[in-house]
A = this chain, B = another copy of it.
Amino acid sequence: MNHSTGHDIADALGPLLRRSTRAHLYHRLTEGLGEAVDDLTYPVLSGLARTGPSSAADLGREIGLDRTTVTRRADRLERAGLLQRQPDSTDGRATLLALTDDGHRIVVTTRQRLAAAIDSALATWPPADAQAFARLLRRFVDDGPFTPDHD
């Protein structure tokens, strides 16, 4: 066997990975949103939006970062007023990280930017193709070929 669909997809995935590193994409999505928001801090913001108020350790597990790294990135975001630290009423040791309204607004903005970028790339596509692609991509992601170690 010298050919497979996997090979075709790998060929397409190569350029995708090359041109849109997570860092590149996040850099672009967070442009102009203030000094505290960049490709490093954005995953904290976005993860927090997904999980709701969360301890640094839990959030670290969620987004695949060391606990202390989360702490320090959260420091920057806290100074910028995008998240707050709250004592956990059910556990005196824990400190919950929670988005402020401003923090939420940032996440909404970046998500709109991403959707808009994708829409503009798909503007010339037949709607049926675009929807088929969305559906297939979601299934591909759910089938999880590249699950990292921390899951």
Which residues of A are at the interface with B, using a C-beta cutoff of 8 A? 4-22, 24-25, 28, 43, 46, 63-64, 111, 114-122, 124-125, 127, 129-141, 143-149, 151
Contact = CB atoms under 8 A, between A and B. Distances in A.
A143 B131 contact: no
Nearest to A47: B18
A140 B125 CA distance: 10
B117 A5 contact: no
Contacts of A139: 125, 129
Number of copies: 2
Contact of A10 (B18, B118, B129): B118
A15 B138 CA distance: 9
A93 B57 CA distance: 52
8 contacts: A5-B131, A8-B135, A12-B134, A12-B138, A13-B118, A28-B146, A117-B146, A121-B145
Nearest to A133: B136
A133 B11 CA distance: 13
Contacts of A19: 141, 144, 146-148, 151
